[in-house]
Amino acid sequence: MEASVSEIHSYPLRPEGFEEPLFSTRESRLTVLDHLLRSPWLSRASEMEGRGGQAAHARREPVELENRHGRVRIVWASGRRRCRKRRHVVEVLGRWREVRAWWDEERAKDRSLARLLLSDDSVVDLARENDGEWFLVGVTD
Protein backbone atom coordinates (compact mmCIF):
# COMPACT_ATOMS: atom_id res chain seq x y z
CA MET A 1 0.00 0.00 0.00
CA GLU A 2 1.35 3.38 -0.93
CA ALA A 3 0.28 6.79 0.41
CA SER A 4 1.17 10.25 -0.81
CA VAL A 5 2.62 12.85 1.51
CA SER A 6 -0.54 14.91 1.29
CA GLU A 7 -2.63 11.94 2.27
CA ILE A 8 -0.48 11.39 5.30
CA HIS A 9 -0.69 15.02 6.31
CA SER A 10 -4.44 14.98 5.90
CA TYR A 11 -4.68 12.20 8.48
CA PRO A 12 -6.03 13.63 11.79
CA LEU A 13 -3.49 14.14 14.56
CA ARG A 14 -3.52 11.99 17.72
CA PRO A 15 -5.05 13.73 20.67
CA GLU A 16 -2.67 15.18 23.26
CA GLY A 17 -1.32 12.54 25.65
CA PHE A 18 -2.36 9.61 23.47
CA GLU A 19 0.05 6.61 23.70
CA GLU A 20 0.36 4.67 20.49
CA PRO A 21 -0.09 0.93 21.41
CA LEU A 22 3.01 -1.09 20.63
CA PHE A 23 0.89 -3.98 19.41
CA SER A 24 -2.42 -3.35 17.81
CA THR A 25 -3.71 -6.85 18.55
CA ARG A 26 -2.87 -9.78 20.82
CA GLU A 27 -1.88 -11.85 17.77
CA SER A 28 0.58 -9.25 16.54
CA ARG A 29 2.12 -9.15 20.00
CA LEU A 30 2.60 -12.93 19.95
CA THR A 31 4.10 -12.79 16.47
CA VAL A 32 6.72 -10.33 17.56
CA LEU A 33 7.34 -12.28 20.74
CA ASP A 34 7.80 -15.46 18.77
CA HIS A 35 10.23 -13.67 16.48
CA LEU A 36 12.22 -12.45 19.44
CA LEU A 37 12.28 -15.88 21.02
CA ARG A 38 13.84 -17.32 17.89
CA SER A 39 16.47 -14.61 17.69
CA PRO A 40 19.94 -15.96 18.37
CA TRP A 41 21.12 -12.57 19.71
CA LEU A 42 18.50 -12.51 22.45
CA SER A 43 19.46 -14.19 25.72
CA ARG A 44 17.01 -15.46 28.25
CA ALA A 45 17.37 -13.83 31.60
CA SER A 46 17.36 -17.22 33.24
CA GLU A 47 20.29 -18.26 31.13
CA MET A 48 22.42 -15.36 32.25
CA GLU A 49 25.02 -15.68 34.92
CA GLY A 50 24.84 -13.40 37.96
CA ARG A 51 22.16 -10.97 38.95
CA GLY A 52 23.31 -7.49 38.00
CA GLY A 53 23.69 -5.44 34.88
CA GLN A 54 22.25 -7.01 31.78
CA ALA A 55 20.70 -9.82 33.77
CA ALA A 56 18.38 -7.41 35.48
CA HIS A 57 15.47 -9.62 34.66
CA ALA A 58 16.97 -12.73 36.22
CA ARG A 59 15.49 -13.39 39.63
CA ARG A 60 15.01 -16.15 42.11
CA GLU A 61 11.78 -15.49 43.91
CA PRO A 62 9.80 -18.24 45.59
CA VAL A 63 6.51 -18.88 43.88
CA GLU A 64 3.46 -20.81 44.91
CA LEU A 65 1.38 -22.65 42.37
CA GLU A 66 -2.31 -22.91 43.00
CA ASN A 67 -4.75 -25.03 41.14
CA ARG A 68 -8.11 -23.30 41.24
CA HIS A 69 -10.90 -25.16 39.55
CA GLY A 70 -8.56 -26.61 36.96
CA ARG A 71 -6.84 -23.31 36.26
CA VAL A 72 -3.31 -22.94 37.48
CA ARG A 73 -2.23 -19.64 38.92
CA ILE A 74 1.02 -18.50 40.38
CA VAL A 75 1.39 -16.38 43.46
CA TRP A 76 4.46 -14.49 44.46
CA ALA A 77 5.56 -11.55 46.51
CA SER A 78 7.08 -8.74 44.50
CA GLY A 79 8.61 -5.32 44.92
CA ARG A 80 9.93 -3.58 47.96
CA ARG A 81 6.70 -4.00 49.83
CA ARG A 82 6.51 -7.64 48.96
CA CYS A 83 3.01 -7.27 47.56
CA ARG A 84 1.50 -10.61 46.61
CA LYS A 85 0.77 -10.94 42.94
CA ARG A 86 -1.53 -13.56 41.49
CA ARG A 87 -1.61 -14.47 37.81
CA HIS A 88 -3.24 -17.27 35.94
CA VAL A 89 -1.19 -19.40 33.58
CA VAL A 90 -2.58 -18.96 30.11
CA GLU A 91 -0.14 -21.14 28.22
CA VAL A 92 3.03 -23.14 28.71
CA LEU A 93 5.34 -21.83 26.01
CA GLY A 94 8.23 -24.17 26.67
CA ARG A 95 9.88 -26.59 29.05
CA TRP A 96 13.53 -27.37 29.52
CA ARG A 97 16.10 -28.74 31.93
CA GLU A 98 19.12 -27.00 33.27
CA VAL A 99 21.87 -29.14 34.76
CA ARG A 100 24.82 -26.85 34.97
CA ALA A 101 28.20 -26.95 36.71
CA TRP A 102 27.24 -29.88 38.96
CA TRP A 103 30.90 -30.29 39.90
CA ASP A 104 30.97 -26.87 41.55
CA GLU A 105 28.82 -26.62 44.66
CA GLU A 106 28.48 -22.86 44.41
CA ARG A 107 27.54 -22.65 40.76
CA ALA A 108 25.67 -25.93 40.44
CA LYS A 109 22.17 -25.86 39.03
CA ASP A 110 19.86 -28.79 38.61
CA ARG A 111 16.33 -27.72 37.82
CA SER A 112 13.42 -28.01 35.41
CA LEU A 113 12.16 -24.82 33.89
CA ALA A 114 8.99 -23.73 32.21
CA ARG A 115 8.23 -20.56 30.26
CA LEU A 116 4.70 -19.39 30.91
CA LEU A 117 2.38 -16.85 29.36
CA LEU A 118 0.45 -15.30 32.22
CA SER A 119 -2.93 -13.71 32.33
CA ASP A 120 -1.43 -10.21 32.30
CA ASP A 121 0.31 -11.08 29.00
CA SER A 122 3.67 -11.26 30.69
CA VAL A 123 6.04 -14.15 29.97
CA VAL A 124 7.93 -15.58 32.91
CA ASP A 125 10.31 -18.42 33.54
CA LEU A 126 9.59 -20.67 36.50
CA ALA A 127 12.09 -23.17 37.82
CA ARG A 128 11.35 -26.24 39.83
CA GLU A 129 14.36 -27.22 41.85
CA ASN A 130 15.26 -30.62 43.18
CA ASP A 131 13.50 -30.09 46.50
CA GLY A 132 10.24 -29.52 44.63
CA GLU A 133 10.09 -25.77 45.30
CA TRP A 134 9.11 -23.40 42.50
CA PHE A 135 10.92 -20.16 41.81
CA LEU A 136 10.36 -17.27 39.48
CA VAL A 137 13.72 -17.02 37.76
CA GLY A 138 13.13 -14.70 34.85
CA VAL A 139 10.79 -12.24 33.28
CA THR A 140 11.32 -12.02 29.56
CA ASP A 141 8.68 -9.50 28.75
Partner 1 sequence: MNGESPDDFVHLHVRSGFSFGFGVARPEELVEAAARMGMSSLALTDRDGLYGIPRFLEAACKADILPIVGAQVSTAGGHVVLLAESMQGYRSLCRLITDYRTSSEDRRRPICPLGKILEHKEGLICLTGAVPFGLLPRLILTGQREEATRVLISLLEVFQDRLYVELTDDETATGRRSMGKVAAFARDASVPVVAAGDVAYLFPSDHRLHDVLVAAANLTALPGPEYRPTDRLHLRSGKEIRRLFEGYPDALENVADIARRCAGAVKLSGKVHMPAAILPSGKTAGKMLLELTLAGARRRYGRRAGDDPTAEELKSRLGRELRCIHALGFAPYFLIAHEAKEIAKSKGIPVTGRGSAANSLVSYCLGLSEPEPFSNRLLFERFLHEGRKDPPDVDLDFCSVRRDEVRFEMIHRYERRGVAEAATVQTMSLRGAVRVAARALGHPPQEIDTLSRQVPTRFHDRDRIYAGLSGWEESLAEPAMYGHPLQDTERYRLLLELSAGLAGRIKEGGTHSGGMVFGTAKHHLSELVPLEPSGTEGLLRCQYDKDDLERVGLPKLDLLGLRMHTALHKAGELASRRLGRRVDPYDLPPDDKKTYALIRTGRNAGMFQLESPGQMHLSQRLGPRRLADLVAQISLFRPGPVRGDLVTPYVKRRNGRESYEVILPELEEILRPTYGVLIFQEQALAVANAVAGFTLAEGDLLRRAMTKDRGPGAMRELRLEFMRRARENGVPAAKAEEVFSWMEGFSVYGFSAAHAASFAELAYASAYMRRHYPAEFFAAVLDSQPMGFYSPRLLLNEARRIGLSVLPPDVHLSGEGFTVEEDGSALRVGLRYCKGLSERAISSIVAGRRKKPFVSVADLYGRTGVEKDALENLIRGGFLDSLAGGSERSRLLDESAALPKKRRRRRQEEIPIEHPASWWAMRERRSVGHLPLTDTARERMEWEVLGLNVYRHPLVPYRDALRELGVVPSVRIRELPPGTYARAAGLIECLQSPPTKSGYRVYFLLIEDEWGLLQTTIFRSVYERCGDILHHEGAFLVEGRVEQTIEKGFAFLVHNIESLRDILFETRVPVPRVTSSPGAFLRAGRRSRKAG
Count of residues interacting with partner 1 (CB under 8 A):
19
Is residue 77 near partner 1 by the rule CB under 8 A? no
CB of 123 to partner 1, least distance (A): 14
Position 41 contacts partner 1 (CB under 8 A): no
DSSP string, the chain: ----HHHHHHSPPPPTTPPPPS-SSHHHHHHHHHHHHT-TTPPPGGGSSSSSGGGTTEEEEEEEEEEETTEEEEEEEETTTTEEEEEEEEEEEEEEEEEE-TTSTTT-EEEEEEEEEETTS-EEEEEEETTS-EEEEEE--
Q: Which stretch binds partner 1 (CB under 8 A): 13-21, 25-33, 53-61, 95-103?
A: 95-103
Q: Is residue 98 close enough to count as binding partner 1 by CB under 8 A?
A: yes
Contact in structure between 60 and 76 (CB atoms under 8 Å): no
Stretch that binds partner 1, among 24-32, 41-49, 66-74, 82-90 (CB under 8 A): 41-49
Among positions 29, 30, 47, 55, the unique one binding partner 1 when judged by CB under 8 A: 47
CA distance 98 to 135: 14
Q: Is 38 in the site for partner 1 (CB under 8 A)?
A: yes
Q: Of 39-47, 57-65, 72-80, 82-90, which part binds partner 1 (CB under 8 A)?
A: 39-47
DSSP string of 86-97, one letter each residue: EEEEEEEEEEEE
Q: Which one of 3-11, 80-88, 93-101, 129-137 is the stretch in contact with partner 1 (CB under 8 A)?
A: 93-101
Under the rule (CB under 8 A), what is the footprint of partner 1?
A: 37-38, 40, 44, 46-47, 94-103, 109-110, 113
